[in-house]
Amino acid sequence: MSVTAAKPGRRRYLTLIMIFITVVICYVDRANLAVASAHIQEEFGITKAEMGYVFSAFAWLYTLCQIPGGWFLDRVGSRLTYFIAIFGWSVATLLQGFATGLMSLIGLRAITGIFEAPAFPTNNRMVTSWFPEHERASAVGFYTSGQFVGLAFLTPLLIWIQEMLSWHWVFIVTGAIGIVW
């Protein structure tokens, strides 16, 4: 039976909510560096140019790993890919709270990018598997809105965590949430 001909059930909505929450976590893990960057620069004596490398490290590896991430997804499936991706980027995020300087931050941001790379291909695969063609655009629109829910509503929480505890805890908390998820 083709994906288009499959009879959709209610379970697909639970799957969509899970994808949405994962996207929220994914984008909070991207926002945490922006929140903590000034404190990180101050603590480690990192220049603005060097901080640019920390920010870019994620994007370099995220971009380079999109195609290999999709290849991996095609070989092992959505469940295993999603598990490895979420767990991997969450551990790397948590470890950023224990970074000791510029190189550890660059390395951990790069690792975060590697593990986040297959997330959106997996999201798309899951939507095409669980939703009939006439509902897919709405489903994609719903889960991609999680990007901005994470940024708009949870960035203030990250700022509060930083002010109450320290910049380290911004990464520890967001990484732990992903690991538990």
Whether 1 and 160 have beta carbons less than 8 Å apart is answered as no
91: containing domain? 28-126+143-180
Closest CA to 175 of 112, 104, 107, 106: 112
75 lies in some domain:
yes
Count of structural domains, the chain: 1
* pLDDT score recorded for residue 19: 95
Q: What is the pLDDT of residue 29?
A: 86
- Give domain status of residue 19, yes or no: no
Which CATH number fits the domain that encloses residue 74?
A: 1.20.1250.20
Instruction: Write down the pLDDT at residue 10.
Output: 83
Let me know if residue 46 belongs to a domain. Answer: yes
Query: Could you tell me if 74 and 125 are in contact, meaning their C-beta atoms sit under 8 angstroms apart?
Result: no
CA-wise closest residue to 36 among 85, 99, 91, 88:
99
- Secondary structure letter of residue 101 according to DSSP: S
Q: What is the pLDDT of residue 151?
A: 86
Give the C-alpha separation, 129 to 12, whole Å.
9
- Nearest by Cα to 94 from 179, 7, 5: 179
Q: What pLDDT does residue 7 have?
A: 55
pTM: 0.89
pLDDT of residue 8: 63
The model's pLDDT over 42-95, given as tens digits with 9 standing for 90+, comes to 999 999 999 999 999 999 999 999 999 999 999 999 999 999 999 999 999 999
2 domain-assigned: no
Instruction: Give residue 9's pLDDT.
Output: 76
pLDDT along the chain (181 residues), means of 10: 54 93 91 95 97 97 96 96 97 98 98 96 94 94 91 92 97 96 89
Is the torsion defined by CA of 67, 68, 74, 77 positive or negative? negative
